[in-house]
């Protein structure tokens, strides 16, 4: 089964577009990922990522007086005989490498008042998907959330 582009949406990264962005990707995940637990985790990770981008875009707007553009795309990809559901975001905000895979783990057992500020959302993203990556490409932060899905006749 070959991969398939499922669609994309692009708009200013702002709270006015929060629901539109999240509803778009959430609906595609729900339609394409049959495993409810995996679907939930990917929706949670994509919502956290979009939230982080919108929050950072607000800081850019306040300090640089410019809108940050956000593009969210979804597709399936076949790699090494495995089928993946991929959510990709691109934004032209400030360069931000979250250093996925090399960051210090968050101690989720530690009381929130004792925990170091920051990093919990990125930890949640990493724990919710099978693969996550970041690249700075042509002035865009590019994040990819990848979840392996079972290929069956109902899959797109």
Find the distance separating the first CA and the last CA of the chain, reported in whole Å: 9
pLDDT, residue 114, reads 53
**Sign of torsion, CA 44 156 36 148?**
negative
Which residue segments constitute the domains of the chain, with CATH numbers given? 4-149 (3.30.565.10)
Burial of 30 (C-beta count, 10 Å sphere; 0-12/13-18/19+):
middle
Which tokens in the block code for residue 117? 């500020």
pLDDT beyond 90 at 138: yes
> Is the separation of the CB atoms in 68 and 57 below 8 Å?
yes
What percent of the chain stands above pLDDT 90?
A: 67
The order of strands in the sheet holding 82-91 is 4-12, 69-79, 82-91, 140-149, 131-137
Residue 104's pLDDT band (boundaries 50, 70, 90)?
low
Of 74-83, 100-109, 129-138, 146-155, which range is least confident? 100-109
Give me the mean pLDDT over the 31-56 stretch. 94
Q: State the chain's mean pLDDT as an integer.
A: 86
Q: What is the pLDDT of residues 60-100, one digit of tens each?
A: 888 999 999 999 999 999 988 899 999 999 999 999 988 77
Q: Say what the pTM is.
A: 0.84
What percent of the chain stands above pLDDT 70?
A: 81
pLDDT, residue 110, reads 54
Give me the mean pLDDT over the 124-131 stretch. 90
């Amino acid at each position: 089964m070959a991969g398939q582009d499922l669609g994309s949406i692009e708009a200013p990264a702002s709270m006015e577009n929060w629901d539109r962005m999240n509803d778009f990707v959430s609906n595609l995940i729900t339609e394409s990922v049959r495993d409810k637990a995996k679907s939930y985790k990917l929706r949670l990770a994509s919502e956290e990522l979009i939230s982080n981008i919108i929050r950072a875009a607000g800081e850019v707007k306040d300090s640089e007086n410019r809108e940050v553009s956000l593009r969210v795309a979804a597709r399936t990809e076949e790699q090494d005989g495995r089928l993946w559901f991929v959510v990709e975001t691109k934004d032209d905000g400030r360069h931000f490498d979250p250093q996925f895979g090399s960051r210090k783990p968050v101690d989720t057992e530690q009381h929130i008042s004792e925990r170091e500020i920051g990093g919990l959302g990125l930890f949640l993203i990493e724990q919710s998907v099978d693969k996550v990556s970041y690249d700075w490409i042509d002035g865009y932060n590019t994040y990819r959330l990848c979840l392996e899905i079972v290929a069956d006749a109902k899959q797109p």
